[in-house]
Structure 1
């Protein structure tokens, strides 16, 4: 199999892992299995009578919630498959004379670290800083796999589009702004702050006087038996939510400005199409974000919001690669 064909499959698997991870987290199934990598010491969810009896011996006080446990295990199965695909990409890259070597090695190291973060997510009982790091690792993996794909299949833009290249600096700033917004989104989700504000455009009540940045953005939140459902008080969660909303406005303006500048200045259809895709994804994300508030975080829309963020990042990675690469 050619490396690029394998990379396409791996990119799809990575998106599936990101979506499944979001679904598992939002369905409160992150601790569906209290151990790692198995589930109650088994390779599948225990359902038979003798398996459940064994669980009572090995995990006293725990009750097997089959639906949540299966969500967690399916996520692990898909993630494990993704790990094997990444290792296969590394092997093929090392065997090929023309393929990059350092990038696939870094990607392989990243997915090993991702596995460790997955383990710590469970063993540290959904500690927000670990949950957020695990989410960011998935986004980083998605982006680096696209970068490897682009490096294996050189991007061809007639003439290099020198007019669009003048926007490279702006594109770099935009991807930085988007990354900060993704971090805010991950922090909002991992601290269960998505419903801290249920009105538009900002928050209900006298929210300005209740802002609490010190507690809201402290990376460590003390010792707790579990961080499931969050440990922060309302003011801290509200502060996180408000920061995410304001960040969404700033991010949307920046990305739309970049997109419209590209449409006006780019001479290649590739860059103009990328700009239109960026606009469509920004509009979709705004609609999904508003829907999460109005409809009180329905699972399907919340998961789609995570997927939209991943596709936005991928689009900006492509735009930056096209603008910064050597002609």
Structure 2
């Protein structure tokens, strides 16, 4: 391989790695914004889709709407549509950020094309992320047409987590050979602990979606005036979710302990595991704030986003520790690294 071709290839690889990392961060920001939309009750801030009150740029005051706008847009909402510029623009900005995220994922797909010959899974998984994003956009329209059906809203959020996992796989694969991964003694024990941690954390997220659905019902029944009684009316799913957090904390403390005991050198996995434990602690703190401070709106999206970040980091740690067995075409990757 000539020096010029090698330089071009290295530049393409570097561009892809940076773009994949930026895309993952932006997807997490989109999950955070989606949480803000839900916690502020802005999900129907735009009662139609893809436009907002029939316009590509939503109004800022009610005088910009037809006098009978409630009749026009409130039919499917049982006449309860009420223009609120703050909620309208929160939802509209969520849609714009979603479109921007889609552009970034498409850019990641384009940047993955050079990998088609040397490491096809990177291209195929980038394509999968793009197709899933298109489906996610369609599902977003169903969220509006279904009048914020709890099942559709939850499915919308879970699909976002799937997209994150696909992008994390692509990103981790592209970084193999570019970051220092520790040599681990007793890897079978670490892997078993990690798998239990990932599985039970996903279960905790799923229970959390049930709590969120129960919260939606309580909010409708009690209204904002009864906010201090929201938590006590959530039912058994909330108490399971709250108590289960102790198990999740124990699993992460155990993971950090095992890694500190069995790793031979300090590297990216140690840093990720320490950061992961800190995120879990902060997430539990936000859960306590939600439970005992009458569910402040600012804590809800933070709690949700930290949960998805934690599960994603667990997945990356597992991928990096098992790179040679998880990722295929390692011969080509190792040959490339030797030429750099």
TM-score range, shorter chain: 0.7 to 0.9
Please list the CA deviations of residues 176-210 of structure 1 after superposition, one character each: whole Å capped at 9, or x if unmatched: 111111111122113316989xxxxxxxxxxxxxx
TM alignment of 1:27-42, pairs within 5 A: 27-42=40-55
Is the CA contact 2:181–2:321 (under 8 Å) kept in the aligned structure 1? no
SS of 1:46 mapped into structure 2: coil
CA drift at 1:227: 11
CA contact (8 A) 1:93 1:101 kept: yes
Match status 1:324 vs 2:322 = yes
- 8 Å CA contact retained: 2:43, 2:91: yes
Unaligned runs of 5+ in 2: 1-11, 224-229, 326-340
Counterpart Cα distance in 1 of 2:67 and 2:21: 44
The aligned residue for residue 90 of structure 2 is 71
Partner in structure 2 of residue 246 of structure 1 = 243
Alignment of 1:34-53 (within 5 A): 34-47=47-60, 49-53=63-67
Divergent runs of 4+, >3 A: 47-58, 95-99, 155-160, 162-166, 193-196, 226-229, 233-237
- Equivalent position to 1:92, from 111, 125, 130: 111
| Structure 2 partner of 1:222 | none
Specify the SS of the correspondent of 2:134: helix
C-alpha deviation, 1:136, in angstroms: 1.3
| TM-score, structure 2 normalization | 0.78
Partner of 1:278: 276
Q: How much has 1:251 moved relative to structure 2?
A: 1.9
Partners of 2:43 and 2:148 within 8 A in 1: yes
Q: Secondary structure at the match of 1:282?
A: helix
Aligned to 2:160: 138
1:118 aligned to which of 117, 140, 149: 140
Q: TM-score scaled to structure 1, two decimals? A: 0.81
Query: How far apart, in 2, do the equivalents of 1:294 and 1:40 lie?
Result: 38
TM alignment of 1:1-327, pairs within 5 A? 2-47=15-60, 49-53=63-67, 55=69, 58-59=72-73, 61=79, 62-96=81-115, 97-99=117-119, 100-155=122-177, 156-157=179-180, 160-164=183-187, 166-192=189-215, 237-270=234-267, 271-326=269-324
Alpha-carbon distance in 1 for matches of 2:221, 2:108: 36
Q: Which has the higher helix share?
A: 2
Q: 1:59 to 1:272 in 2, by over 3 A?
A: closer
1:302: Cα distance to partner?
A: 1.9
Q: 1:301 to 1:237 in 2, by over 3 A?
A: closer
Distance 1:30 1:122 in 2: 8
Greater Cα offset, 128-137 or 92-101? 92-101
Range moving further from structure 2, 75-84 or 48-57: 48-57
Flag the structure with larger Rg: 2
Change in 2 beyond 3 A, CA 1:299/1:115: same
**Offset from partner CA, 1:112-131 (integer Å, 9 cap, x none):** 12112211111111111111
CA distance in 2, matches of 1:50, 1:30: 21
Q: Is the 8 A contact 1:164 1:266 kept in 2?
A: no
SS at match of 2:215: coil
Across the two proteins, how many residue pairs are aligned to each other?
Answer: 295
Bigger shift: 26-35 or 59-68? 59-68
Q: State the alpha-carbon separation in 1 of the partners of residues 260 and 217 from structure 2.
A: 34
Aligned to 1:212: none
Aligned counterparts of 1:295 and 1:235: Cα–Cα separation in 2: 12
